Chains A and B, each alone.
Chain A
Amino acid sequence: AQKVTQAQTEISVVEKEDVTLDCVYETRDTTYYLFWYKQPPSGELVFLIRRNSFDEQNEISGRYSWNFQKSTSSFNFTITASQVVDSAVYFCALSEEMDSSYKLIFGSGTRLLVRP
């Protein structure tokens, strides 16, 4: 069963537009962690944020904000006033505390293209 779903395969916006990347997850664990990673064209995986299942407080970091809603099992990521440098593939991922290997389960990613 797909544990992390990123339904948007690709999004294209014009610079300065706001954009939201959706992430829906599935888990039976009561303690779990959600992550967003960015993969720029250079290929590396860059950690952006982690959210614990017991902390539903939303977070803002500069132009980035994250909306965690347990009721809908979603952890969406919004970029405000997008810039060309935001162009990348963004991955949402899940880690479950009952998983003894603590591996990350990735969604399929959303490719964001920000056009000048």
Chain B
Amino acid sequence: EPEVTQTPSHQVTQMGQEVILRCVPISNHLYFYWYRQILGQKVEFLVSFYNNEISEKSEIFDDQFSVERPDGSNFTLKIRSTKLEDSAMYFCASRLEGPLSGANVLTFGAGSRLTVL
């Protein structure tokens, strides 16, 4: 069964460092997402990406965050200067496009745990 793959599974970084989290969505999916889950809390929407541009971003997704689809397969989330409060699990997800795209299941990767010291 096709899956969304994320790397790294766990990254530890120092405050102020740049971090790049990588995702390979399912190949025929056209909607891509990043979500964040602070330990023990809800899964929060960060950003959606469609047709090579951001279609929506949440208030969490400030200027420190950026996303890119550099080569048609990878989908990356960059945090420019990490803060302690960026420590969380980051989930990548993708969705198929269709006549009723909202009906299509969001398939999530296993997550990348980011620890900022």
Spell out A's residues near B (CB within 8 Å): 31-33, 35, 37, 43-45, 47, 50, 52, 91, 95-97, 99-109
Find A103's partner among B33, B100, B113 (CB 8 Å cutoff). B33
Pick 8 A–B contacts, CB within 8 A, sort by A: A32-B102, A45-B91, A47-B108, A50-B105, A99-B102, A102-B95, A102-B102, A103-B48
Task: Please name the residue on chain B nearest to A45 by beta carbon.
Answer: B108
**A102 contacts across to B, CB distance below 8 A:** 31, 48, 95, 101-102, 104
Spell out B's residues near A (CB within 8 Å): 31, 33, 41-45, 48, 50, 55-56, 89, 91, 93, 95, 100-111, 113
**B102 contacts across to A, CB distance below 8 A:** 31-33, 95-97, 99, 102
Instruction: Evaluate contact between A106 and B42: CB separation under 8 angstroms.
Output: yes
Instruction: Evaluate contact between A45 and B103: CB separation under 8 angstroms.
Output: no
User: Could you tell me the distance between the alpha carbons of A106 and B38 in the complex, rounded to whole angstroms?
Assistant: 14
- Give, as a whole number of angstroms, the nearest-CB distance from A45 to chain B: 4
User: Could you tell me the distance between the alpha carbons of A101 and B31 in the complex, rounded to whole angstroms?
Assistant: 8
- Give, as a whole number of angstroms, the nearest-CB distance from B34 to chain A: 10
The count of A-to-B residue pairs whose CB atoms sit within 8 angstroms is 70
**B113 contacts across to A, CB distance below 8 A:** 43
**B104 contacts across to A, CB distance below 8 A:** 102
**B41 contacts across to A, CB distance below 8 A:** 108
Find B108's partner among A33, A44, A96, A103 (CB 8 Å cutoff). A44
Instruction: Evaluate contact between B50 and A101: CB separation under 8 angstroms.
Output: yes
Task: Please name the residue on chain A nearest to B46 by beta carbon.
Answer: A103
**A106 contacts across to B, CB distance below 8 A:** 42-45
The answer to whether residues A31 and B100 also contact, given A102-B31, A103-B33, A104-B45 and a CB cut-off of 8 A, is: yes
**A37 contacts across to B, CB distance below 8 A:** 108
Instruction: Evaluate contact between A44 and B110: CB separation under 8 angstroms.
Output: yes
- Give, as a whole number of angstroms, the nearest-CB distance from A99 to chain B: 7
Q: A37-B108, A97-B100, A106-B45 are in contact. List 15 more A-B contacts (CB 8 A).
A: A43-B110, A43-B113, A44-B111, A45-B43, A45-B111, A95-B102, A96-B102, A99-B56, A101-B48, A102-B102, A102-B104, A103-B56, A104-B93, A104-B106, A109-B43
